[in-house]
Amino acid sequence: MSRLMANLKEVRERIASVKNTRQITSAMKMVSAAKLRRAQSAIQDMRPYANKMDGMLRNILSNLDGSVDLSYGKERKVTDRACLVVVTSSRGLCGAFNSNIIKAAVRLIEEQYPGFRAEGKLSILCIGKKGYDFFKKRYADCKIIDDYVDLFNDLRFDRVAPVADRLMQAFEDGTYDHISVVYAHFRNAAMQYPVAETFLPVPKIELTEEENDKKRADYIFEPDQEQLLEHLIPSILRMNFHKYMLDTHASEHGARMTAMDKASENADELLRDLRISYNKARQEAITKELSEIVGGAAALEG
């Protein structure tokens, strides 16, 4: 009898523990849903403008006059140093969100920068604590830049722009020959996927000769082409970098909301199983008590 009572107590404690966990996951889901609405609105409002400006920039750089020399669009042979920017979140409990970004970054290192790690020519700029913790531990032979780990605490443009300025200056100075960014692209609350993009040099639009004749940018520049592009290109690059941050920020909250929703569903299923187990154990205890009472009464009568 004591064993059955101990089982009942254990099941009751597990039920109470699962209930508390479900309350936490449900609350986190609601918080993430509220944050997601703001983050989703920010990236959806910005993305069409940013994509259009980025397309215009690539089109212009693909069709520049030979007399115009712009360092941001100049292709270089990557022999000196490269920089990889990895954008993750600083908190967990968002499913495979961070691990997917880290896997994409590791894959990019293996495919695009072979040998750079061994030669100490690869720098990794980590935005977000999860990415920093991973690369600091496993990529100690690379230069890990941790100046912007906490950037997600405030994603205002005037805080993000200096990071892009630092990368542009490093590329222009020749510190880096190539700069790539790995971040999460936000599609909807249930779907986010890692993306690796070249930040510098600005990728040009590859067109055939026939397509080039049809799609050649026909812009009228005032003032002159070079003077205007010296101001336009950095502005567009800053905006693109800000888009990377907003995309990842919205993706994080979408992934966390989905993960907490699934955790709440799992808690509900576990509660149902535990209640069934509790009722079975309780019924068994009652049946045993009745059997003992009936047996005792029969013994007295005999």
Rounded Cα distance between 181 and 184, Å, is 10
pLDDT for 5 equals 60
pLDDT per residue as tens digits for the range 229-259: 778 889 999 999 999 999 999 999 999 999 9
pLDDT for 189 equals 86
Rg (alpha carbons) of the chain, rounded to whole number:
29
- CATH architecture label of 34-259: 3-Layer(aba) Sandwich (3.40)
Average pLDDT, the chain: 86
Residue type, 61: L
8 or 45, greater pLDDT: 45
pLDDT at 190 over 70: yes
| Residue 142 among the catalytic residues | no
pLDDT for 209 equals 55
pLDDT for 58 equals 76
pLDDT per residue as tens digits for the range 92-139: 999 999 999 999 999 999 998 888 887 889 999 999 999 999 999 999
**pLDDT-based confidence at 212, cuts 50/70/90?**
low
pTM here is: 0.84
Rounded Cα distance between 258 and 248, Å, is 15
What does residue 136 show for φ and ψ, rounded to 5 degrees?
-65, -35
pLDDT for 17 equals 93
- First-to-final CA distance of the chain: 25
Catalytic residue among 83, 94, 126, 142: 94
Contact indicator for 26, 265 with CB cutoff of 8 Å: no
- Ordered by start, the domain boundaries in the chain are 34-259
pLDDT for 106 equals 96
pLDDT at 216 over 60: no
pLDDT for 64 equals 65
Measured from the Cβ of residue 287, the count of other Cβ atoms closer than 10 Å reads: 10
